[in-house]
Structure 1
C-alpha cells in the first residue's frame, strides 16, 4: 500500500503541474474516480472547473474525455451519440453511434448539469448507478471512471433533480484563486498545454479494478463508526431544532445510500494513502459529502470536526471518563473540605470579625480577619502587621497591596497560607484559638466506599493508559495527516490542532490529579500542637 501512496502522490504532482489553487479539487476528483463516484463543482464561471476534468483524464492510461455544456434544448443525441441511420434502415434497429460520446469516455465533464431534460437525466442515472448504457437491444458496460458535473447554481426544488443530485457524492465549492502568488503565476503563464504523465504512473484498467477490490478490504474500526454515529446525532438534533423554531432554513438530509458510498470513499482514501484501516484524518473528507446548500458547508464542517474530536477523546483515549473521574474527585474533596472548614464552628470568633493566632509569644493578641482566613489557600499571600490603636496590646494581620510599599516597612511584611485550623506565617504553622471543648475536625471520608487513595491510583492508571495511547496514536495520526493526499491546508491544521488539544488535555489532567493528591495529603497532615521556637514572633 505504501507503494500505491507514493505512486499516487507522484501522479497528483504531474496532474497538478501548472494548476494554481485547485490542487485539492484535482486530488478529490481522482479519489472520487478511484472510488467509482462522481463529483459536483459549484462555482462561478471562469474558475477552471473544466480543467479539473481534463487533468483527471491524464490519470488513466489511454484515457479519453467527453465535455459538454448543457442547455434546456440539449438532446440525448448530443451526449450519447446520434442514432445510426444505416442500422435503422437496414436492420430496423434503434442504435446510437457512441464512439466519441459520453458512453465511450473514461472521464466526462458536464457543465450546467441541472439544465438536463428528463431523458438525459434518466440515462445519466443508469450510467452513474450501474456503469451501463442501453443502446438499442444491447446493454453496454461503459468505461466511465469519473464524471464531473458543474454549475453556478444548485438544483432547484421540485424539478425532479433529487435523484441525480444524490448521485454526486463529493460536492465542492470552487472559487477563484485566493493566494496572490498563485494568481501572479497563473496570469503570467503562457503555457496552457496539459502536462504529460509517464506511462508508469497512469492507472491502467487492470490496476483500477484491482485497486477497487483492495480498497474494499480496508478495515473500518469502531472509532470511525463512532464518528459517523456522532454526526448523524448532530444532524438529527439540528433538524429537530429547525422544526421546533419553525425555521425556513433547509434541513440536512443524508440518505442511507450516501452514507454507504461515503464509507466506501473513506476506504479508498485510506488505501490510496497507504493505510490498512480508515483513520480519523480520512473522516475529515466527510465534510465534502454531507451538505446540500452553501449555507450548510460551515455547519457540516463543524459537525465533522466535533465528531472526530469527541470520538478520539471518548473512544480512543477514554479522556471523557478521565475528566469525569477528576471532576468527581475534585467535588468530593472540595465538599469534604468545605464541610470541615467553611465557617468552622470550632474556631473562636473574636469581636465578631476576627480569629486569634495562638502561641506567637507576642506581647498581646495577634488577630486575623475571619474573611481573610477563609480566602487563604496553599499559595502564599502577603500581609502586614498593624498595631490597633483602639485595642490595648493587640496586633492585626491585614492584607498587603503593592500600593502600600511606601507606607509599610519591609520588616512588617509576612507571607500567609492556610492550614487546618491554623495559619502558616513565613512557613511556620500557628494554631488558631478554638472554642473550648469543640469537636475536632472530622476526617475526610470519601463519598464512595472505596479508599480515596485507591481512587487516585485508578485515575492515575487511566491517565497512564491515555498517555501511552495518545503518544502512539497521536504520533501516527500526525504523520498520516501531514502527508495525506486529499486534505487541504485548513483540514490538516484542524486535525493537527485536535491532536495537540488531546495531548495538552491529558497533561492538564495529570497536573490536576497531582494537585489534588498534594492537597489531599496536606489536608490530612497533623499540624504541630506546639508553636515553633525561635521564629519572628518569639
Structure 2
C-alpha cells in the first residue's frame, strides 16, 4: 500500500467525513461519541461510554448506527434480564426433540452493531455469553453454536464497576469515553437542537443525507487499516506505554497490542497509509479511569499535542484537553463573560449574567484546588468575585479559597 491511499478508500473516507459533519450539527458536545463509535466499527473493536443518564450516549450510538447498512440491535439490561432477551428464546419445537437451540432471528447473535445500555447489570450467564460474542464473535448455548457477524458492540453505564470480575469484562472494550452533561456555554445550542429534533422527527432528510456505508465499504476500510505502516510509531508508542507504567497506569498486553489498530485507523482516516506521532492520540481512550485519563493528558502533553485528524477532530481535541487545557478554556470563557457584564444591576440581563458567573466559579472550584489552580485562572477567579462584590448585589458563592 502506497503512502497515498487509493481513490476508492479516499471516497469512502470522504463519505464518512460528510456523515460526521451532518451528525455533529444535531449532537451538541457529543461529536466525540459519534467519532469513537465510527472508529470502533472500522477497527472491529468495542466501545464503552460511562456517564449519568440522559447525557446523549444512546442518541450518539443510534445516530452512528443509522449511517451503516448493517443490522442493529439494542437493549437496556436490568438486574432481572434473562439471557433469552438478548440471545433468543429456546426453540420449543427443537426442545421436544431433545435439542437445545435458541431462536436467534433479530437478536444479538445476528447483529452487526449492538448497543447494550447498563451493561454491568447483566447476570453472570449474560456476561459469560457476551465474552464469547465480543472476543471470538461466536455465540454458544449448550451444543448450539453460531458465528456472530458483529462489527462493534457499544456499551453504556452510569459508572465503572468496582468488582474485579466486572473490571476484567470491561477490559474487552478497547475505547472508553467518560460523558459529562453539556456545558453551560452550549446550553442554548442543546435546547435548540433538541427542540428541532422533537418537532421534525417525522421529516425525512434522505435527499440530502450522505449514502449509508455498506458492508463492502466497511470491509475495504478494515482491510486498509491492516495495511497501514506503523514503523514510525512503534518507538513513540512504546515510550508512551513506559511513561504510563511509571505513573501506575496498567493496561493488559492484549489491550496494548490491539491499540495499534486504533493508531492505524487514525492514520487512515487522516488520509495517510503511514502512521506518525500525529496518530497516537487514541491511547487516551484506552485508559478506563476518568481521573487517570485527565492526568495522562497532561503527562503526555508533548506527545499528544502533535495529534492531528480533521475527520476525527473532536476526538483528537479531547484526547489532549487535560486540566491545563481546561484551565485555558475556562479562563477564556471567564474573560468573555467579564466583557459581557451589563453596565447596570437593574438591567434585565444582569441576573442571567450573574448565574453564568456563579456556575463558572463552581466549575473552577470543582476542577482545581487552591494549590493546583494555574495562576491565570486564579487571577481570573479573583476578578470574577470582585466584579460582583463591587455591585449592590450579594457576591457569588465560591467553595475554594483565594
Select the structure with the greater relative contact order (CA < 8 A; seq sep ≥ 6): 2
Structure number with greater Rg is 1
Structure 2 distance, partners of 1:22, 1:491, is: 11
Out of 201, 204, 208, the residue aligned to residue 214 of structure 2 is: 204
Aligned to 2:257: 260
1:486 to partner: Cα distance: 4.6
Structure 2 distance, partners of 1:22, 1:195, is: 20
Aligned to 1:100: 106
Instruction: Kindly indicate whether the alpha-carbon contact (under 8 Å) linking 2:86 and 2:107 is maintained by their aligned counterparts in 1.
Output: yes
Task: Report matched runs for 1:442-521 at 5 Å.
Answer: 481=308, 483-488=310-315, 490-491=317-318
Per-residue CA shift, 1:227-270, capped at 9, x if unaligned?
2222222223223xxxxxxxxxxxx2101110111111111121
Task: Report matched runs for 1:281-300 at 5 Å.
Answer: 281-290=278-287, 292-300=288-296
Instruction: Kindly indicate whether the alpha-carbon contact (under 8 Å) linking 2:304 and 2:319 is maintained by their aligned counterparts in 1.
Output: no
RMSD of the alignment, in Å? 2.7
Any stretches of 5+ residues in structure 2 without a counterpart?
326-402
Aligned to 2:276: 279
Matched residue of 2:115: which SS?
Answer: strand
- 1:219 equivalenced with 2:229 (yes/no): yes
- 1:32 equivalenced with 2:32 (yes/no): no
Out of 20, 28, 37, the residue aligned to residue 28 of structure 2 is: 20
Matched residue of 2:177: which SS?
Answer: strand
Per-residue CA shift, 1:367-393, capped at 9, x if unaligned?
xxxxxxxxxxxxxxxxxxxxxxxxxxx
Instruction: Kindly indicate whether the alpha-carbon contact (under 8 Å) linking 1:35 and 1:212 is maintained by their aligned counterparts in 2.
Output: yes
Structure 1 distance, partners of 2:216, 2:173, is: 25
Aligned to 1:58: 66
- Relative to structure 1, the CA distance from residue 17 to residue 199 in structure 2 (aligned partners, 3 Å threshold; closer, same or farther) is closer
Kindly report structure 1 stretches of 4+ aligned residues shifted beyond 6 Å: 197-200, 492-495
Structure 2 distance, partners of 1:20, 1:76, is: 35
Per-residue CA shift, 1:111-146, capped at 9, x if unaligned?
111111111111111111111212554432212212
Task: Report matched runs for 1:136-535 at 5 Å.
Answer: 137-158=143-164, 160-178=165-183, 179-189=186-196, 190-192=199-201, 196=206, 201-222=211-232, 224-239=233-248, 252-290=249-287, 292-308=288-304, 481=308, 483-488=310-315, 490-491=317-318
Structure 2 distance, partners of 1:22, 1:71, is: 25
- 1:4 equivalenced with 2:1 (yes/no): no
Structure 1 distance, partners of 2:279, 2:261, is: 11
1:306 to partner: Cα distance: 3.2
1:11 to partner: Cα distance: 2.2
Instruction: Kindly indicate whether the alpha-carbon contact (under 8 Å) linking 2:225 and 2:265 is maintained by their aligned counterparts in 1.
Output: yes
Instruction: Kindly indicate whether the alpha-carbon contact (under 8 Å) linking 1:24 and 1:488 is maintained by their aligned counterparts in 2.
Output: yes
May I ask how many residue pairs the two structures share in their alignment?
311
Structure 1 distance, partners of 2:12, 2:302, is: 31
Structure 2 distance, partners of 1:494, 1:162, is: 26
Matched residue of 1:161: which SS?
Answer: helix
- 1:114 equivalenced with 2:110 (yes/no): no
- Relative to structure 1, the CA distance from residue 85 to residue 34 in structure 2 (aligned partners, 3 Å threshold; closer, same or farther) is same
Instruction: Report the TM-score when normalising by structure 1.
Output: 0.54
Structure 2 distance, partners of 1:165, 1:492, is: 20
Per-residue CA shift, 1:442-484, capped at 9, x if unaligned?
xxxxxxxxxxxxxxxxxxxxxxxxxxxxxxxxxxx8xxx3624
Aligned to 2:51: 43
- 1:81 equivalenced with 2:77 (yes/no): no
Instruction: Kindly indicate whether the alpha-carbon contact (under 8 Å) linking 1:4 and 1:274 is maintained by their aligned counterparts in 2.
Output: no
Instruction: Report the TM-score when normalising by structure 2.
Output: 0.71
1:201 to partner: Cα distance: 2.9
Instruction: Kindly indicate whether the alpha-carbon contact (under 8 Å) linking 1:93 and 1:136 is maintained by their aligned counterparts in 2.
Output: no
1:283 to partner: Cα distance: 1.0
